[in-house]
A and B are shown apart, each in its own frame.
Chain A
């Protein structure tokens, strides 16, 4: 008897999961000079030519809020957004209904518990190149490229921003008004306007510089106009 009940419940759930639902979601688009960034393309500003070769960052714990009481958590907790993989910019979920929400909140980076949890898969798999190897911890944001301002070999800049232990925790919370189309931009022009690439071009380990830059980056999210 119990077996039959279980079987029925199971089948109902199974069928329900096959009914197609329109998926909506959020898009996080890295922009520079108001356009989506194209990797390996030259951008000109002032006296400087700037080119991005790699742009990756983690967004985690995305939640939608309505009023004080209603929240919806995206079921998948960690998303690696990688500009070289356009599909990764879009984060989908069935529950994101139009005009239903006031705000969206998320974390730029990976929380400290996950940073100490051992080997994890999917977007957190170490083959994604977002985990330090000589020391434990995720690289929350990786920004690499070239700028004629950098006095480095081949004019390279490399920002590997991470760190999860006190006092250099880099994961940053952000809250944005809910955009009806779910489109958000991450404005790298704004970030780079605060960086003097002549003196600040390489961050490869946790520390104050990584925290400072991530704090600014977390203010560069906007709903797309």
Chain B
């Protein structure tokens, strides 16, 4: 009896491992171990496809006008470039800049202030936000259950026609976990396929001296929180992480964003205050506002010559991942949402 049990356990572990292996390619070799626990939501191509469909479907909003992609466009590395602050339902203007979405399995928290502790639960925020999608979770799930496409899709992927909040969230997560950006020139240099120009090489050196402690390789963020010395915008009064922890030492701390794909994801910072990388560098050299919570790493003044700025920007551009931004697998699923009628 005991022996049989062991055989069964070992066998199911094998099956399980095999299933996980299918999407191994999603974990780039030069990346650290991901934080998302894939065992709790093992990737599956059908589930990913549902997630992609949900991501592009305005059914998630109250008046069927806004989808996740309205604020997170694939061509902007899933950020939004027309606005500094995000625009939602009924032309509401939000209070923060929509961040780029990639390498989400390595984030330890979500949102500029880390309000959300798990990728699965993130989608609840825009769906229920009065000025973003203006819906309720229950109502969205009811709409999905009544739709002509979703129950069939869920049955083939999850083995049940009955869509729940849990399954909707897990599917959205699956798609977002596939948004991995690790094929920039930088990555190709690291794997020996390409070489940096001398400008890029010098920029890389300056980056490692001044920026890497927060925007840490190879993700180009430690995904921790820091105050990088931005003066407060008095029209927004956004104190960042402090809203969540209510601790004074967290005043003006924001989640450190990755520096990958910056050419696509402007404007920059939590309130989109800078449009150009030059402005960002000028902030780090001349704009740092001292305050009790300013990161110790930025207490010492940074100086760059104008050539050094050019070099640093040349390096930052090697972090653009064109293959990711134009990957057809991440795009609007036309065949499902707008099938050709004949």
Which residues of A are at the interface with B, using a C-beta cutoff of 8 A? Answer: 2, 5-6, 9, 115-121, 124-129, 131, 133-137, 207
Residues of B within 8 A of A125 (CB): 164-166
Let me know if A126 and B166 touch, CB within 8 A.
yes
Partner of A133 from the list B1, B4, B117, B125 (CB cut-off 8 Å) is B125
Let me know if B4 and A2 touch, CB within 8 A.
yes
C-alpha gap A42/B339 in the complex (Å) = 54
> What 5 A-B pairs come out closest when comparing CB atoms?
A118-B120, A119-B120, A133-B128, A121-B166, A119-B169
Residues of B within 8 A of A137 (CB): 117
Residues of B within 8 A of A124 (CB): 166
Residues of B within 8 A of A120 (CB): 166
Let me know if A118 and B121 touch, CB within 8 A.
yes
Query: Separation in Å of the B129 CB from the closest CB of chain A?
Result: 7
Most chain B CB within a 10 A radius of its CB, from A125, A131, A133, A137: A133
Query: Separation in Å of the B66 CB from the closest CB of chain A?
Result: 16
Partner of A127 from the list B4, B119, B138 (CB cut-off 8 Å) is B138
With A125-B164, A133-B125, A134-B125 already in contact, the answer to whether A119 and B4 are too (CB < 8 A) is: no
C-alpha gap A121/B37 in the complex (Å) = 17
Let me know if B118 and A117 touch, CB within 8 A.
yes
Query: Separation in Å of the B252 CB from the closest CB of chain A?
Result: 19
C-alpha gap A128/B124 in the complex (Å) = 12
Let me know if B129 and A136 touch, CB within 8 A.
no
Q: Is B342 an interface residue (CB 8 A)?
A: no
Let me know if B120 and A134 touch, CB within 8 A.
no
With A125-B165, A127-B138, A127-B164 already in contact, the answer to whether A116 and B129 are too (CB < 8 A) is: no
Q: List 18 A-B contacts (CB under 8 A).
A: A116-B118, A118-B40, A118-B118, A118-B119, A119-B166, A119-B170, A121-B164, A121-B167, A126-B121, A126-B124, A126-B137, A127-B164, A131-B121, A135-B116, A135-B244, A136-B116, A136-B118, A207-B246
Query: Separation in Å of the A43 CB from the closest CB of chain B?
Result: 28
Partner of A129 from the list B41, B138, B170, B173 (CB cut-off 8 Å) is B138
With A119-B120, A131-B121, A133-B125 already in contact, the answer to whether A126 and B165 are too (CB < 8 A) is: yes
Residues of A within 8 A of B7 (CB): 2
C-alpha gap A121/B169 in the complex (Å) = 10
Let me know if B121 and A136 touch, CB within 8 A.
yes
Residues of A within 8 A of B1 (CB): 9
With A6-B4, A134-B129 already in contact, the answer to whether A127 and B165 are too (CB < 8 A) is: yes
Using CB atoms, name the residue of chain A closest to B41. A118
With A117-B40, A121-B164, A126-B124 already in contact, the answer to whether A136 and B115 are too (CB < 8 A) is: yes
Query: Separation in Å of the B338 CB from the closest CB of chain A?
Result: 28
Let me know if A116 and B117 touch, CB within 8 A.
yes
C-alpha gap A119/B1 in the complex (Å) = 36
Query: Separation in Å of the A8 CB from the closest CB of chain B?
Result: 11
Q: Which of B195-248 contact A (CB under 8 A)?
A: 244, 246
Let me know if A133 and B120 touch, CB within 8 A.
no
Query: Separation in Å of the B50 CB from the closest CB of chain A?
Result: 14
Q: Is B141 an interface residue (CB 8 A)?
A: yes
Query: Separation in Å of the B250 CB from the closest CB of chain A?
Result: 13
Residues of B within 8 A of A117 (CB): 40, 118
Residues of B within 8 A of A6 (CB): 4, 8
Q: Is B100 an interface residue (CB 8 A)?
A: no
Let me know if B117 and A136 touch, CB within 8 A.
yes
C-alpha gap A168/B127 in the complex (Å) = 27
C-alpha gap A117/B61 in the complex (Å) = 26
Query: Separation in Å of the B218 CB from the closest CB of chain A?
Result: 25
Query: Separation in Å of the A210 CB from the closest CB of chain B?
Result: 13
Query: Separation in Å of the B238 CB from the closest CB of chain A?
Result: 14
Query: Separation in Å of the A161 CB from the closest CB of chain B?
Result: 17
C-alpha gap A133/B4 in the complex (Å) = 46
Let me know if A133 and B40 touch, CB within 8 A.
no
C-alpha gap A5/B247 in the complex (Å) = 61
C-alpha gap A43/B309 in the complex (Å) = 71
